[in-house]
Amino acid sequence: MEAIDPSTGARIETYEEHTESDVTEALDRATEAFDDWRARSIRDREQLLAAAGEVLRENKREYAETITREMGKPVTQSLSEVEKCARVCDHYAEHASAYLDSDPHPSPPGSTVRTEYEPLGAVLAVMPWNFPFWQVFRFAAPYLAAGNVGLLKHASNVPGCALAIEDVFREAGCPEGVFQSLLIPSDLVDDVIADDRVRAATLTGSGPAGRSVAATAGDHLKKTVLELGGSDPFVVLDDADVETAAETGAWARNLNGGQSCIAAKRFVVHTDVYDDFLDAFVDEIDSLAVGDPMDEETEVGPQAREDLMVELHEQVAESVDAGATIVTGGEPLDREGIFYPPTVLTDVPEGCPADSEETFGPVATVYEVADEDEAVDKANDTNFGLGASVWTEDRDRGERVAGRIDAGCVYVNQLVKSDPRVPFGGVKDSGYGRELSEVGITEFVNRKTVWVE
């Protein structure tokens, strides 16, 4: 596996892929580690998670620079990502015991009945490159706290991140085999899922990848959690604070180079404020600093890979051919590295790529709608259902509209984000299951009924 700096095209380092024999040994280590790990007190596991948070904080600059070199996000955003990983470790270090405490149930006189939450075993995580630390810790912190052990198949363009995360848990004091990174190609994933030593799998990624993992896991009766992307609507109603919505919207679309499943992608704007919003939105987007991701002033770095930028530009070009209008951006930048400018499209025809597909890069589509009902219809006019954002000065109205949008989460007067304190996941083609909070930690456990007479 080669790690390539997308800002320059230079090779950073070459890593040896793990062989099938290496994978077999890793699975043996995971099985052996699980027997000890599950028997530890949950307080011991919480303390090791807290230690992992400290390791992250102590080395955050080093980890942030690894993220930036391998996938290109601005280093300030990489630092924020590492800090967020430390926070999720803190969260489960503090709350795992309460989340996993047994639940009593009504029972006949003289008996007690309760539900115990017991770990399943080794959980395989197939994770993407866009948030190469956060996506992993979002899975690892709760599942390790619950007593499972983790196997990471990371994206092939971030192998340095994969090994660095393994080192975090090792330095925190976790026993060998509790968390391991597998540097393997995608065509070995099915074999790992099928192996009896693996008890469950989770994936964040594309729809085809999710369907493949789910199909293999289903064949072997293993549970999965899938987060498969989104095309999140950003609804601006006629009573919204337009300037604030435009400023937040520009950031919500272009954070992480626009390469985020929960990025605002479709801006659905009431006709009464459409012109004002569009003008303010474009001004905000044009003001974003695009450049060297190691520069602290940079706000938008390169795209992660050349093939991804080519695909994104094809979506834009096909949409323009279908009748969409480019307001700003729309062409790869003529400079070293894989840079695509923040782009805004209007007059977007129904069914064109920018309308019907997920655009995984800094491309925003802006729609004009006549009223609240049309705004809701347009927000729901997608196969995805991950997140949504609604902007209005009337909080009651915002809650009412939020209730009509088909999504795993809706934020009123705020951009969509994941937070350790609340469940995260989607509906429709955005996947199933939930990560984070109490719900997330109990996804991969045996809810065992214990009846004592």
Active site residues: 227, 261
Give the integer Cα–Cα distance in Å for 236 and 340: 26
Q: Copy the structure tokens of residue 400.
A: 């009412």
What CA–CA distance (Å, rounded) separates 183 from 20?
A: 11
Instruction: Give the sign of the dihedral formed by CA 157, CA 212, CA 222, CA 424.
Output: positive
Which helix (H) or strand (E) is 327 found in, with range?
strand 325-328
Number of Cβ within 10 Å of residue 111's Cβ equals 9
| Residue 202 identity (one-letter amino acid) | T
- Which residues are registered as beta bridge partners of 267? 234, 366
Separation of alpha carbons 357 and 352, rounded Å: 8
Residues 262 and 409: their CA atoms lie apart, in Å, by 10
Please state the φ and ψ torsions of residue 170, each to the nearest 5 degrees.
-65, -45
Q: Is the dihedral of CA 87, 92, 93, 99 positive or negative?
A: positive
Q: Provide the 8-state DSSP code for 247.
A: H
- List the structure tokens of 79: 């630092």
